[in-house]
Amino acid sequence: MNLNISKIENLIVVICILLSIIFYFLGFFYREISNGAGHTDLQLHIWPLVNDFNENYVYTLKNYLSYQEATFPFFHTVQAFLNPFKQSYLMYCLSNTIFNLLILYIFFIFIKKKKIFSEKNLDLALIVVFIFLLSPWFRSSSYWGMTENLSIFFLIPSIYYLSKVFEKKDNIKLNIILAIFISLTIYARQQYLFLGLSHAFILLFERNSKKIFYTFLIYFIFSLPGIFVYNLWGVFQNLENATSASSYISIKNIYINFPKISCLIFFYLSPLIILNLQNIKKRLFSNKYLILFLIIFVLQYAFFNKINYSPMGGGYIVKFNKIFFNNNISLLLIISSFFLILLIEFMKDLNKRYLVLLLFIFIVIGLPEYIFQEWFDPIYLIFYYLLLSKDKIVNLGLIKKNVVYFIYAWEFLILLIAISYYHFYLKIPLFYSF
């Protein structure tokens, strides 16, 4: 009987992996645009930059702002010099689609290093890894040669080593390695600045002079190319010259975006909430928390009721709210209030260093006017399995078969909704070409 169960479980693993691979390459064949803008980002910004960097790097770098690209030119430089498949945009896209499969291997290696799955359960780790291929944002970034996925190469080790700092299992060497990976992650995608700020803040409060000196020295050395480029663009005279998105950045957005970020984090906590519902009900279903919830909701309503979010960005909850509730802020505030209740209750179970990270996420991610779900998906899987301590991962059941299968189904549903929304509701055509 056990042999039959083992065969069935192995078959499920194989089916999940094959489904991920088949759907991934089918998406490329149909030129899927499940993030809504991959095709235009490539056509209008990335493809011209990659080609012009290849032709005349210095001239293109000086005139980078004229390309209206929102990210630093790290990705474009890598593609211009290291990608040999630039004969056509389609070959360029295919090369990125295949090359980004290496991210799965890197993620698997670091999950093994974390030692959360036993050797006999590494098949479950494989399923976790192949969930990446179901993420609409991972897929679209791959299919359309966008910038997001390059950052994941460096984010995976960054989060792994940051977890060591959180658990106080670090040393000078580990902090130097972490500073290198975080620097590369930030060059690839600037919203990950919250990692560097969290790391620096924690070290400063540790008051270990050697750690601080060597780590900050690495950050300084790696900042020099960025300082040089910013000086070239005249950023120190006019901050809006940083990138084409700089004009959308403002301190006041941190306040405005608080409910939106709360909803996005809640969205990706939902699988854990559903799977741990019994424990949550025991801890939260009481008159005390009902009153606290009402107080938080009323306060948030007083602060945010006049905000009308743009339909651009914001993720599933904002779009759902727009389609079905005519952009009524109340739904977002209810979800945001519930997120805060969860945070208040489970704060005592968390290492305070995680709260430092959460604070900087709200600050840094909150700065732009527009917030996109691609900044959270499939990144949440890396946070689930590499950032949390081993004890927390076990307590949340993240290594259980039913949980892994549930998250797989969850991401598959997200993909189906994204394809339906963009290709059938907004009617973005398949087989897009330029």
Distance between terminal CA atoms of the chain?
Answer: 56
Q: What is the pLDDT of residue 247?
A: 64
Residue 1 has pLDDT above 70, yes or no: no
Alpha-carbon distance of 68 to 46, in angstroms, equals 10
The pair of structure tokens assigned to 404 is: 């892994």
Alpha-carbon distance of 343 to 32, in angstroms, equals 37
Interhelix angle 258-275/401-419, rounded to 10 degrees, is 140
Percent of the chain exceeding pLDDT 70 equals 98
Taking residues 190-205, report their average pLDDT.
96
Taking residues 30-34, report their average pLDDT.
96
| Contact (CB, 8 A) for 375 and 268 | no
Q: What is the pLDDT of residues 289-309, one digit of tens each?
A: 899 999 999 999 999 988 877
Of residues 179, 245, 186, 246, the one with CA closest to residue 215: 179
Q: Give me the chain's average pLDDT, please.
A: 92
The alpha carbon of 113 is separated from its chain's Cα centroid by a whole number of angstroms, namely 21
The confidence band for 207, taking pLDDT boundaries of 50, 70 and 90, is confident
Q: What is the pLDDT of residues 406-429, one digit of tens each?
A: 999 999 999 999 999 999 999 999
Q: What are phi and psi of 62, to 5 degrees?
A: -60, -35
Alpha-carbon distance of 126 to 105, in angstroms, equals 9
The torsion angle over the Cα atoms of residues 360, 269, 109 and 27, rounded to 10 degrees, is -110
- Map residue 69 onto helix, strand or coil: coil
Taking residues 191-218, report their average pLDDT.
95
Q: What is the pLDDT of residue 321?
A: 81
Residue 43 has pLDDT above 50, yes or no: yes
Taking residues 44-72, report their average pLDDT.
95
| Contact (CB, 8 A) for 89 and 31 | no
Taking residues 279-286, report their average pLDDT.
86
Taking residues 348-371, report their average pLDDT.
92
Residue 2 has pLDDT above 60, yes or no: no
Q: What is the pLDDT of residue 287?
A: 87
| Contact (CB, 8 A) for 389 and 167 | yes
Residue 206 has pLDDT above 60, yes or no: yes
Least confident of 12-16, 161-165, 271-275, 280-284: 280-284
The confidence band for 4, taking pLDDT boundaries of 50, 70 and 90, is low
| Contact (CB, 8 A) for 65 and 233 | yes
Residue listed under structure tokens 């693993």: 13
Cα 171 to Cα 71, 209, 214, 351: the distances in Å are 32, 12, 11, 19
Taking residues 167-190, report their average pLDDT.
96
Alpha carbons within 13 angstroms on the beta-carbon side of residue 153 total 16
Contacts of 174 (CB under 8 A, 6+ apart): 161, 164, 165
Q: How many CB atoms lie within 10 A of CB 432?
A: 16
| Contact (CB, 8 A) for 185 and 151 | yes
Percent of the chain exceeding pLDDT 90 equals 77
For 34, which DSSP code?
T
Residue 3 has pLDDT above 70, yes or no: no
- Supply angle C-alpha 353, 264, 127, rounded to 5: 80
Q: What is the pLDDT of residues 116-149, one digit of tens each?
A: 998 888 999 999 999 999 999 999 999 999 999 9
Q: What is the pLDDT of residue 429?
A: 93
Taking residues 306-330, report their average pLDDT.
79
Q: What is the pLDDT of residue 5?
A: 60
Least confident of 170-174, 181-185, 313-317: 313-317
